[in-house]
C-alpha cells in the first residue's frame, strides 16, 4: 500500500514543475493545486487489453501535467481502480511523481462484481455479500445500489486494495438519489446523514481525506422533480456529521454543451436567492468535477463545436467546460494513444477568461 495523500506543497510543486503548461491551468481548491482537466476511467471492457490502455492513458496524462484522477469501484467491474492503481505505482516507482502530487477520487454505492472473477453478478453478490452478512435482504435497491454502512465499509476497503493506496483523497457516494428512488425522502436524508457520519469516521482514521456526492440528475434537475436535492440540505447534514470542518467539499455532475443545466437552471436556494448548481457550489465553497464533457463522444459525431480557436473539436469542448465559472475540472475518459495525445493539447493553452467565456455564451445564444 502506498502511503500519503495529496498535499498543498507537493501539488503546487507538481504544477510548477510543468513549466510548459500555462499556470492558469491549475486551480487552488481547498489549498490543493489541481489541474483544470482530470482523467476519467468509466468506459471500457473488463479485459487485459483495456487494463493496459487505461494504465498507459493515466501515465501519459499525469506526465503531461494532469494530477486529477477519477474512477469508481463499479467501473469495469473493479478493474478500472486496479488499472489506476497500477499506473500510479509505476509512476512512483519510476520517480516520475510522488503520491502527494496527485489527487485520486473513487466512488462507492453501486453493486458490482469482479471483472477478474468469471462469475455471474448475482452469484458473486450472494457469495461475497449475502453469505457474509455484509448485505441483508432489502439492502440493495431495485437499481442495484446500496448505501448501508457495512456495505460501504466493505467497498472502501476493496477500493483501497484495488488502488494500492493507504488513503483516498476523495470518496464519492455514487448516484445515491438516483439509485434509491424507492425510499421516502425523509428516510433517504436520514440514511445520507448516516453515510456522512461514516465518512467522517474514516477521515479521522486517515483512510479518506474528503468526501462528496457524484450524481447524475439530483443537483441539476428542477425542484419539482422527485430526484431533486438541495445543496443546502446536503451541507446541513455534513455540518451535523462533522461540524464546520466537515469533509464534504466536492460534488460531481454531468456538464457539457448540451447538458448545461448546472449552469443555466436556477434551482438552489442560497441566502434567500435562487441560483444555479454551479453558483450554489461556489457559494458553499465546493469543488465541482464534471463528467461526460464530450457526451461519451456523441458531441464529436454531431459536429457540436463551440468555435473556440483553431483546436480540435474535443479540445474546444473541453475548453468550454473547464472555462465555465464554478467548475474545477472536466473529467475526460480517453484511452487510445491518439485520443490522449489530442485531448492533452488543451493543457497547452490557458482557459478562457471570464470575459471571453461570457462573450462566447452570448455568441452561442445569438447563433441559436
Q: Which residues, including other chains, have CB under 8 Å from residue 242's CB and lie 6 or more apart?
A: 196, 200, 203, 248
Q: What is the pLDDT along the chain (368 residues), one digit of tens a residue?
A: 999 999 999 999 999 999 999 999 999 999 999 999 999 999 999 999 999 999 999 999 999 999 999 999 999 999 999 999 999 999 999 999 999 999 999 999 999 999 999 899 999 999 999 999 999 999 999 999 999 999 999 999 999 999 999 999 999 999 999 999 999 999 999 999 999 999 999 999 999 999 999 999 999 999 999 999 999 999 999 999 999 999 999 999 999 999 999 999 999 999 999 999 999 999 999 999 999 999 988 898 887 778 888 889 999 999 999 999 999 999 999 999 999 999 999 999 999 999 999 999 998 888 76
Per the CB < 8 A criterion, the answer to whether 174 and 214 are in contact is yes
Q: How many CB atoms are located within 10 Å of the residue 87 CB?
A: 23
DSSP letter for each residue of 6-33: --HHHHHHHHHH-TTS-GGGEEEETTEE
| pTM of the predicted model over 0.85 | yes
pLDDT attached to residue 336? 92
* Angle of CA points 111, 115, 118, to nearest 5°: 105
Q: Does domain 8-367 have CATH number 3.40.50.1110?
A: no
pLDDT attached to residue 368? 66
pLDDT attached to residue 300? 87
Alpha helices in the chain (DSSP H): 8-17, 48-63, 79-93, 121-125, 149-163, 176-179, 185-204, 231-242, 261-264, 277-283, 298-301, 313-323, 337-343, 354-367
In whole angstroms, how far apart are CA 134 and each of 66, 127, 282, 321?
A: 37, 10, 38, 40
Which residue is listed with cell 474535443? Answer: 314
Distance CA 212, CA 338 (A): 32
pLDDT attached to residue 231? 98
Distance CA 102, CA 26 (A): 12
Closest by CA position to 346, among listed 4, 12, 38: 38
Main-chain dihedrals φ then ψ at residue 171, nearest 5 degrees? -110, 120
Query: What residue segments make up the domains of the chain, in order of their start?
Result: 8-367
Closest by CA position to 167, among listed 210, 107, 197: 210
Distance CA 255, CA 318 (A): 10
Amino acid at each position: 500500500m502506498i502511503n500519503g495523500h495529496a498535499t498543498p506543497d507537493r501539488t503546487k510543486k507538481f504544477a510548477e514543475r510543468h513549466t510548459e503548461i500555462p499556470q492558469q491551468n491549475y486551480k487552488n481548491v481547498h489549498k490543493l493545486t489541481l489541474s483544470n482537466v482530470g482523467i476519467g476511467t468509466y468506459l471500457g471492457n473488463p479485459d487485459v487489453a483495456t487494463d493496459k490502455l487505461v494504465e498507459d492513458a493515466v501515465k501519459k496524462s499525469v506526465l503531461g501535467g494532469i494530477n486529477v484522477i477519477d474512477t469508481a469501484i463499479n467501473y469495469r467491474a473493479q478493474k478500472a481502480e486496479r488499472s489506476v492503481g497500477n499506473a500510479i505505482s509505476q509512476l512512483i516507482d519510476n520517480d516520475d511523481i510522488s503520491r502527494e502530487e496527485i489527487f485520486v477520487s473513487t466512488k462507492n454505492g453501486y453493486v458490482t462484481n469482479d471483472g477478474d472473477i468469471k462469475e455471474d453478478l448475482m452469484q458473486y453478490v450472494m457469495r461475497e455479500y449475502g453469505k457474509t452478512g455484509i448485505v441483508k435482504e432489502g439492502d440493495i435497491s431495485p437499481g442495484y445500489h446500496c448505501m448501508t454502512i457495512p456495505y460501504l465499509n466493505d467497498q472502501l476497503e476493496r477500493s483501497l486494495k484495488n488502488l494500492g493506496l493507504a488513503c483516498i483523497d476523495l470518496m464519492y457516494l455514487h448516484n445515491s438519489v438516483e439509485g434509491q428512488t424507492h425510499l421516502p425522502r425523509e428516510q433517504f436524508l436520514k440514511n445520507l446523514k448516516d453515510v456522512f457520519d461514516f465518512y467522517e469516521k474514516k477521515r479521522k482514521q486517515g483512510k479518506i481525506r474528503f468526501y462528496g456526492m457524484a450524481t447524475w440528475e439530483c443537483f441539476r434537475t428542477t425542484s419539482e422533480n422527485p430526484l431533486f436535492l438541495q445543496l443546502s440540505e446536503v451541507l446541513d447534514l455534513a455540518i451535523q456529521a462533522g461540524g464546520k470542518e466537515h469533509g464534504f467539499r466536492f460534488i460531481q455532475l454531468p456538464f457539457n454543451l448540451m447538458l448545461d443545466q448546472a449552469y443555466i437552471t436556477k434551482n438552489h436556494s442560497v441566502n434567500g436567492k435562487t441560483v444555479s448548481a454551479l453558483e450554489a457550489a461556489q457559494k458553499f465553497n465546493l469543488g465541482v468535477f464534471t463528467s461526460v464533457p464530450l457526451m461519451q463522444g456523441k458531441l464529436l459525431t454531431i459536429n457540436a463545436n463551440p468555435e473556440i480557436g483553431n483546436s480540435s473539436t474535443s479540445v474546444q469542448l473541453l475548453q468550454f467546460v473547464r472555462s465555465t465559472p464554478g467548475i474545477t475540472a472536466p473529467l475526460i475518459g480517453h484511452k487510445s494513444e491518439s485520443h490522449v495525445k489530442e485531448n492533452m493539447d488543451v493543457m497547452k493553452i490557458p482557459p478562457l477568461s471570464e470575459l471571453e467565456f461570457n462573450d462566447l455564451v452570448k455568441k452561442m445564444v445569438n447563433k441559436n
